[in-house]
Chains A and B, each alone.
Chain A
């Protein structure tokens, strides 16, 4: 596997992870609002 391929895959994984993390941030924020009784 060439180094370029590593970079492509790493970038793909990084984007996926960023998406998951952003989703979790949004989810935890929503859960907090719900638990506070405000939603």
Chain B
């Protein structure tokens, strides 16, 4: 063709800003930023506010980039799952290549800026986070084993370690405790979701635990993890990093978490599972908010706290 006409099918889809934002998995990104900030706040030492903001932006961008890459890779199964078919790629609002490029650019830039502006330890950990989430979880484990989100959960548990390293330049027992809390929280969180989305996962062949082992076994595992998570969340107190106020919040939240799990076992339908999923998000937020609040109050020297 010598003129400038193109067939309608040749014109690539062009995304709107909102579509690119959706690629970032904003709700996941918020939790990542919050736990990353917690790691920064709880770490010994201090960062200039401008550098602290930079570190947060790097964590956010890396998380968003990893999310976009995941959406690119999983667009085939996302298209066939009720939960995800409205995402930009399965819905055809963005070209796959655009999403991949967007994600990779964000992740690479985030790690580079972290390395140049903050420190190499934080940058290396951030790179590890992205690589683990993309290659270990998304590409390798997700479609192959019911332990996919258990092992893959390490990626989601790293942000506080990254934030901590941004401030202190190292990894410490305390930051690993923060890692452990999220790591043990991840299976009950995702399996609660999988309990009410079993059909979705089964349809596309993702071996989530309820699909592979059934509801009863999944609930047993959720309960098991909950019973370990609840006391583990008190570890910061033992390390001297948190006080009585935090202990009370963590213990209460832990008991409620276990109660939710027991509820899921009693429930025939999916209501309790949905409630557990919702509460799990609240739980994580409460734990990390309490850690932050505890340090803030103790720094302000509030007496018996």
Chain A residues near B17 (CB, 8 Å)? Answer: 12-13, 16
Chain B residues near A22 (CB, 8 Å)? Answer: none
Chain A residue at minimal CB-CB distance from B57: A27
Tally of A interface residues using CB under 8 Å: 14
Tally of B interface residues using CB under 8 Å: 14
B167 to chain A, nearest CB (A): 15
Q: In the complex the two chains form, is B11's CB within 8 Å of A12's CB? A: no
In the complex, A35 Cα to B53 Cα: how many Å?
A: 14
Chain B residues near A39 (CB, 8 Å)? Answer: 48, 50
Chain A positions 1 through 33: 1 when the CB is less than 8 Å from some CB of chain B, otherwise 0? 100011001101100100000000001001100
In the complex, A13 Cα to B17 Cα: how many Å?
A: 6
- Contact check: which of B11, B20, B53 meets A6 at CB < 8 Å? B11
Q: Does B16 contact A (CB under 8 A)?
A: yes
Q: In the complex the two chains form, is B14's CB within 8 Å of A10's CB? A: yes
In the complex, A34 Cα to B50 Cα: how many Å?
A: 8
Chain A residues near B53 (CB, 8 Å)? Answer: 27
Q: In the complex the two chains form, is A31's CB within 8 Å of B16's CB? A: no
Q: In the complex the two chains form, is A31's CB within 8 Å of B14's CB? A: no
Q: In the complex the two chains form, is A9's CB within 8 Å of B15's CB? A: yes
B89 to chain A, nearest CB (A): 16
